[in-house]
Structure 1
Amino acid sequence: MRIKEAFEKRKKNGQKALITYIVSGDFGYETTKKNIMSMVNAGADIVEIGIPFSDPIAEGIVIQEASQHSLEGGTTLAGIFKMVKELRNETDTPFVMMMYLNTIYRFGTERFFDLCNECGIDGVIVPDMPFEEKDEIQGTATAHGVDNISLVTPASHDRIESIAKDAEGFLYCVSSIGVTGTRNEFSTDFDAFFDVIKKNADIPCAVGFGISGPEQAKKMSQYCDGVIVGSAIVKIISEYGEDSPKKVYEFTKSLRDALDE
């Protein structure tokens, strides 16, 4: 419900939603908490909480290295849930976990979604789970009130229609084929891509993968209901470490300002 309300609030004001991403536990839980609150205070509408994984196949080098650094620092899924529970005392902003299927399986699917519900996680994004196999977690996610958020890419072709029709929470529209990471330019025909999506999706659509700054965010926002920025933020955290919250606030604010122009 929080996800839906976040998009509706922006739409009502003629604005686009800003979704930001962070690798949990990079430079410790406290730094992650401060950075999440920096993003929220700067105008992020939804925060994707990345769960570090040893083999993050959808990620580029920036998020890969941050994940490795986080795992080496002792980050665990149980620790992340504890952190989220603490954050819920400070904000009602929707939180979505972005993670890999093996992490859910190893933790225990029932136990995982039970804690999502208890700690206030609104949705999950599982990039290595094909749409055709979403039933692996769908029933348990639904039973615990957690949106199982689907991804659609320019390479989805004939599948775009069925994925869009069946999506929940918001539809994660991947800007280009490949892994995450900032890009200088895109080769995707966005008019054609989003034309099919809009004809079939009854929920908000947000575009991500490769948006590196305010200008790109503004440009991409014309196609959908929200933009997702990840690697650019993770890069700032990698550079400034425990001193990153101020820089993360400034960058997030620049994105918010660009979207509101």
Structure 2
Amino acid sequence: MFPIRLSLATYNLWNTERWPEREPALQFFTDRYKPDILCLQELRSETRTMLDQALPNHDRVNDDFPGWICEGNIYWRSDLFSCIEYGAEDIGILSDYRRLFWIRLKQNDGDKVFFVSTAHYTYQCHPKERETGNSPRLEETRETVTALRRLVTDDEPVFFMGDLNDSIHPLRILYDAGYKNCFSELGVVSPPTFPSMPTAGPVTGIPRITATIDWLFANEKARPIAAQVPHCYHENLTPSDHWPVLAVYEI
């Protein structure tokens, strides 16, 4: 039997900055790429409504917890997969409604079950980090690993992705726990994911720099085939201030 091959993407949608000006660009991205699974950060009701219309063959989590509406959610191809379980775990992110959002999907025409999760770690310029110099993302990553150990089974493929606002310690901690990013596994350089110039101007008080802060990880039960950071434009705008990470895996 051939392995299942699926496309996954993670995208920070920049809340409602420059919205609805960016709407045609996000529509362009969804029209061109249509990932089988799309994990989102900085989702808002406006962008959720737009995506519901742009992805008619996808479902998402519909839950009363505000975080699913105003922070993160996960879309999946409903013709391919069904959601059999979902949740939102508090991993100590310094924001009211940010969580480790997760779903467990089952193949519609087979028995394959796998786990998908996403998070948006605390921003580097959070007042607490600016005052103390201590990164909360180390503990957030450790709590992510603890939650995944509790939630996943030994034999299922596991994906974790999102805006980690970091490129060093979360990767190290996740690697030690068995989660490897798609670029490293393919032996390629991880491209910058922030900022998407010129749509996103320089952050006030921070030099104009580029950084890789959005990541896509999987355990040993999933094999990456390809990965990229698509620079998708519509006219003179990008869909967000971040670039998405898009990867194809076999499970």
TM range (shorter): 0.3 to 0.5
Normalising by structure 2, what TM-score?
0.41
Structure whose residues are more often strand by fraction: 2
Normalising by structure 1, what TM-score?
0.40
